[in-house]
Amino acid sequence: MMFRPVLRGSIGAVLLVLLGGCSSTHYYSQLAGGQLSLLRAREPVAEVIADPARDPKLREHLAQSQRARTFASEHLHLPDNRSYRLYADIKRPYVVWNVFATPEFSLTPQQHCFPIAGCVAYRGYYNQGEARGEAALQKQQGMDVYISGVEAYSTLGWFDDPIISSMMTWGDERLATLIFHELAHQRFYVKDDTEFNESYANFVEQEGTRQWRTARGLAPAKVDEVKQKDQFIELVLNTRARLQQLYAQPLPVEQMRERKAQEFQHLRDEYHRLQASQWAGDKRYDAWINAPLNNAKLLPFGLYDQWVPAFSALFRQVNGDWPTFFKSVEKLGGLPVDERTAALRQLMPG
């Protein structure tokens, strides 16, 4: 089964959505071209699994993904559609590269606004060279810049999102968590509130994975691994908080730069102490911590994790009932932003 008629019908919609009202024709054109290329590469997962000429490891990995996909709709009450029932081989390690940028002495991200997603804290490129070009321009303007490769994203239900070849180096469980996360975005999304959207989807991913393991008779994820991840995130968020306080001070530029460098060195020192004292020398975050650090590199942490404990508390309040949880999330999302933030703070532990 092919999807040519659907793709022809989608082309006009993609261009209208992505190009309508654009301020940079080239940028929006590469977005439209990249999305259309991804749509054209899609094929049904069932056909790949059934094809003996395809890589056996790929077929088995996709077969496992479909069990998680079914679980997502039947048990987690996430959308039941063709998303992640399709596969696309894009022949590159990432589907897009996101460019994050902040001023030199600020953790406020440079915002970019789009017709579908609203305003987000990054700019995405389907070509790594173009992402690097954008990053270079931002650096010339004195901005802190960070490029992050992204293996997958959601079109929020506008199209049937495929499992992408960039995900195929993951284990079966990580692929399942991605499906839960991205379907959560399809289930509900608030325009112009990245922190809310990503924290909510991250919670659905975490709780969905816990239930997925239980359903398969597996033990919970190793406590040490979960604790290590939480401790690492806490280190980064604590650094963000200290930098926020620093940047609020009326210091001369050179002194501010020196104090900023000291804070990043403090982060590295704390990381190595924790690594030696509690992680038995585990090096899983070494590449990140040893690479250059700046404000922009810290942005994804706050965006994805800030309100996860609040959504966890909300889930407990509704006794773990997914439909009721989603209704409560929708109610929160419908509040004006100030009221929404206040409600989330009320839900936070402590």
Q: What is the pLDDT of residue 24?
A: 72
In a domain, 239, yes or no: no
How far apart (Å, rounded) are the C-alpha atoms in residues 105 and 247? 6
Q: What is the pLDDT of residue 116?
A: 59
Paired sense of beta strands 86-88 and 163-164, if any: parallel
How far apart (Å, rounded) are the C-alpha atoms in residues 317 and 294? 38
Model-level pTM? 0.82
In a domain, 232, yes or no: no
Dig out the tokens for 264 from the structure.
Answer: 């990043």
Dig out the tokens for 50 from the structure.
Answer: 């059934």
In a domain, 338, yes or no: no
Give the total residue count for the chain. 350
Say if residue 239 is exposed, middle or buried (CB neighbours under 10 Å; 0-12, 13-18, 19+). Answer: buried
Contact 72, 80 (CB under 8 A): no
Total domains, the chain: 1
Say if residue 102 is exposed, middle or buried (CB neighbours under 10 Å; 0-12, 13-18, 19+). Answer: buried
Residue partners of 95: CB distance under 8 A and separation at least 6: 38, 126, 150, 151, 152, 153, 164, 166
Which secondary-structure segment (H or E) carries 101? strand 96-102
Dig out the tokens for 301 from the structure.
Answer: 């942490």
3-state helix, strand, coil in the chain (%, to 5): 60, 10, 30
In a domain, 201, yes or no: no
Which secondary-structure segment (H or E) carries 97? strand 96-102
Q: What is the pLDDT of residue 259?
A: 98
Crossing angle between the packed helical segments 223-247 and 253-277, to the nearest 10 degrees? 170
Tally helices (H) and strands (E) across the chain: 14, 8
Q: What is the pLDDT of residue 67?
A: 97
Q: What is the pLDDT of residue 194?
A: 82
Q: What is the pLDDT of residue 112?
A: 83
Query: What is the span of the domain harbouring residue 174?
Result: 15-187
Residue 143 Ramachandran class (φ > 0 left, ψ -120 to 50 alpha, else beta): beta
In a domain, 254, yes or no: no
Q: What is the pLDDT of residue 5?
A: 26
In a domain, 21, yes or no: yes
Contact 153, 95 (CB under 8 A): yes
One DSSP character per residue, 115-131 reads TTTEEES-EEESSHHHH
Residue partners of 57: CB distance under 8 A and separation at least 6: none
Looking at residue 168, its amino acid is M
**pLDDT tens for the 350 residues of the chain, in order:** 222 222 222 333 333 344 333 347 888 889 889 999 999 999 999 999 999 999 999 999 999 999 999 999 999 999 999 999 999 999 999 999 999 999 999 999 998 887 656 777 889 999 999 999 999 999 999 999 999 999 888 888 889 999 999 999 889 999 999 999 999 999 999 988 888 999 999 999 999 999 999 999 988 777 677 789 889 989 999 999 999 999 999 999 999 999 999 999 999 999 999 999 999 999 999 999 999 999 999 988 866 778 999 999 999 999 999 999 999 999 999 999 999 999 999 999 97
In a domain, 249, yes or no: no
Q: What is the pLDDT of residue 117?
A: 60
30 to 46, 113, 154, 159: CA distances (angstroms): 30, 16, 17, 18
In a domain, 130, yes or no: yes
How far apart (Å, rounded) are the C-alpha atoms in residues 152 and 87? 12
How far apart (Å, rounded) are the C-alpha atoms in residues 148 and 131? 9
- Number of Cβ within a 10 Å radius of residue 97: 24
Residue partners of 315: CB distance under 8 A and separation at least 6: 203, 207, 325
Phi, psi at 163, each rounded to 5°: -70, 130
- CA angle in degrees (0–180, nearest 5) for 103-109-113: 125
